[in-house]
Amino acid sequence: MCLVFSGLEVVFASGREYGGTRVTEEREHIMRYLHRVVSAAAVVAATSVVLAQGVAVPPPADEVFNIPARIDLPVYQLDDIDWNRVADLERQDALQGLGPRYAVPYEVDISPASHGSWVQASENTMVWRLRVACDNAVSLNFGFDRYHLPEATRLFIYDTHPGRAIRPFTEDDNAAHGELWTPPTVGNDVILELTVPVKAMDRLDLHLGVINAGYRGFEEFFNDRSGSCNVDVVCPEGDGWRAEIASVAVISTGGSTFCTGFMVNNTANDETPYFMTANHCGINSGNAASLVVFWNYETSTCGGTPDGVLSDFQTGAFYRASKSSSDFTLVELDSLPQPEWMVAYAGFDATGADADWACAIHHPSTDEKRISFEWQPTTTTSYLGTSVPGDGTHVRVADWDVGTTEPGSSGSPLFNQDHRVIGQLHGGYAACGNDLSDWYGKFSVSWNGSSSSNRLRDWLDPLNSGALTVDTLWPGASGITVTPGDTFVSEGQAGGPFTPASRVYTIRNMGDFAVSYNVTTPDNWLSISNASGTIPAAGTADVTVSINANANSLPNGGYTGVVYFINTTDHDGDTARPVQLFVGVPERVYRWNMNSNPGWSTQGQWAWGVPTGGGGEFGNSDPTSGATGSRVYGYNLNGDYANNMPEYHLTTTAIDCSNLSRTTLKFQRYLNVEQPAYDHAYIRVSNDGTTWTEVWTNSSEITDNSWRQVEYDISAVADGQPSVYIRWTMGTTDSSWRYSGWNIDDVEIWGVVATACAPDLTGDGVLDFFDVLAFLEAFDNQDPVADFSADGVFDFFDVLEFLDQFANGCP
């Protein structure tokens, strides 16, 4: 998505809009960022676009032949990156709505005849080498405007440390457009090496027209990394979406900008490599050949250290169509992806119908692939509009329930509940920590147009069938998949009813032969219909999981169940789906309205009192009163926070949550803080006062000008805990641009209060023989506590109900 430079009132690469008046300060802000990138270059070089992993690259020629060492080659030295030029380019790109930039181009005129050095390495082999350096770059990539290699010729690109290299380019990379654009090679000192059979020298045609010097890697995009709310596609939430996940890629264009895109199917299901992205990402007929597509850039573990590999790449495409109103571009890749990459072709829905719910798969900040969900229906609007239908060109996602999107997600697909694309990301305001909207160019609008150059139907319906829906094609796939892949969550009061009462799961046979299945659960409060059967090749079966009457006797609390989906034919794709049942309705348990001082621990300039409306050097000033009443807790009630500040905390006293489940924190917020590349605000929670869990941090600049209630789930730390602490943190901050910081009011703790364990008549928390004796005594005395059937009659049914609850125990 777009970059937003601190409030400049323009639509950046993906169209994210922010209001503000600091246009004259924009250049300074960009420059501040760029200098930080330079200072972190060593870190970026270690973690950015490295393609050596997973690539088998032969040793350099000087290790095979008796030729001069590569380190002694003369250097084609590029001028250092001019950061003033970079700032100008980034502003120009943003104003034109182009994709975000990671490198700057240097136009050159280089061929093996004019530069570098030739040496005859053997009787049959010639070697040409060129060493290129740019001292303050973190990567280099190359645009060959003429590329034709004869048979048995190979082009290698490697850092002077040859462990970091790209796969060899060969005659297989020759394309009708005659160009080759390479992925970045990490490092600022790179060698191009060409090995050519002597007999093929007269058929070599190679000319280098552009060298791009990188100043940030794929993982170093404007702010830090993508927000913590993003969900890796390898996590359980991605189960059931494996085919669609395999269709999405991160892309680079012209060696200097990047976005997200996806392979799209057509009515012939013939694996034509059509690839879609956003029009504002800047691909056109003049630069489509420079497209580089990176497949399978994903983390290896859910929530683990980012370790994606960028070795599954292909280069080059032919421009087919685009439209600015719905922000789409369609290209045809100039070759098929390698079969071992297991790339899928996403299905689509061009009917124009809104989705019941939606799923986005994308590369936020061009990090490893992530997945996001919106469980509410989408709407049709204008771009950045909320009125329905507006001009009808866009699909609006009101707010993300799982994950988000970010800069770099532009061009990524939005799938409906039937796993079909209904749009590609244009832009919006969504980020971790907010409930704001995104807008996707509407696929049905892109479907039609005045000619094949501005519509999809000519390309994606080659059969002229009139079909408006196509399913995802995943060549080589097998086994079963199950959707949806997230947790089935149901809730209600003790005794029921519970909502939703059921969920339908779709089992899809991905293979070419029929399979049998069986669905089971060990939990007696779950029922399954259509629990077994046979699914034909490429067919589906629907299975319904329901909350049954046994749940009505469960006391307040949370219950976790599981449903197993088994492929009984060959067990390919066996999986499980979690179920959570929440009995009881959350209620407010604690409230601090700040009318009196709660006596919480403070550091730095944290204080309880009346805010004065001061500050606002940047952003907005403090409020002049609380959300309710006059007093608040705030950081510097008289103005802005300081520069170069460490972390300072406001910490509550111990809060007893031992009797709570589904614990949430609610409070009124009035916060102004610079974006997290520079200044920070946090909320953390602890159940021991020593180990702290972050539940929120600012993922962007925040400039509140009114009070707003916010809510955070703290159940993972607080549920059932006798001593819970909540901490608001201001800092760290950098050396300039001060904001007014935190103000909080009306802090509340909500949760489901556990009901007493009815058969624990002694109240000691243990079910034992003494509880049985207590029941018999109460029964003899006709004490209402013994009326377990709640019918006002003391009889055998009370005994049966007591024994049943005693046997089942208490949560």
755 in Cβ contact with 584 (< 8 Å): yes
Q: Which of 29, 207, 280, 426 is catalytic?
A: 280
Q: Pairing state of beta strands 413-415 and 502-509? A: unpaired
- For helices 26-39 and 83-95, give the axis angle rounded to 10 degrees: 130
487: Cα within 13 Å, side-chain hemisphere: 15
Tokens 């004259």 belong to residue = 24
Phi first, then psi, for residue 808 (nearest 5°) are -80, -15
- Catalytic status, residue 111: no
Identity at 755, one-letter amino acid code:
T
Query: In a 3-state reduction of DSSP, which class is residue 33?
Result: helix
Rounded to whole angstroms, the Cα distance separating 520 from 575 reads 11
133 in Cβ contact with 77 (< 8 Å): yes
Rounded to whole angstroms, the Cα distance separating 510 from 513 reads 9
- Catalytic status, residue 280: yes
Nearest to 44, CA basis, from 194, 196, 218, 240: 218
Identity at 95, one-letter amino acid code:
L
261 in Cβ contact with 277 (< 8 Å): yes
Query: In a 3-state reduction of DSSP, which class is residue 717?
Result: helix
Q: Which of 327, 349, 461, 771 is catalytic?
A: 327
Which helix (H) or strand (E) segment is 559 a member of? strand 557-567
DSSP characters for 122-164? SSSEEEEEEEEE-TT-SEEEEEEEEEE--TT-EEEEEESSTTS
Task: Count the helix, strand and coil residues of the chain and give each as a percent rounded to the nearest 5.
Answer: 15, 35, 50
606 beta partners: 635
648 in Cβ contact with 731 (< 8 Å): yes
- Catalytic status, residue 161: no
- Please, what is the Cα angle at 143 between 42 and 119, to 5 degrees? 90
Query: In a 3-state reduction of DSSP, which class is residue 99?
Result: coil
Q: Which of 410, 444, 490, 661 is catalytic?
A: 410
Query: In a 3-state reduction of DSSP, which class is residue 688?
Result: coil
Rounded to whole angstroms, the Cα distance separating 96 from 93 reads 5
Nearest to 263, CA basis, from 280, 282, 250, 279: 250
- For helices 796-808 and 769-780, give the axis angle rounded to 10 degrees: 160
Q: What letter would DSSP give residue 755? A: P
Q: Pairing state of beta strands 606-609 and 347-349? A: unpaired
Q: Which two tokens stand for residue 809?
A: 């125990």
Tokens 């995009």 belong to residue = 221
Helices (H) and strands (E) in the chain, counts: 9, 50
Residues tagged active-site = 280, 327, 410
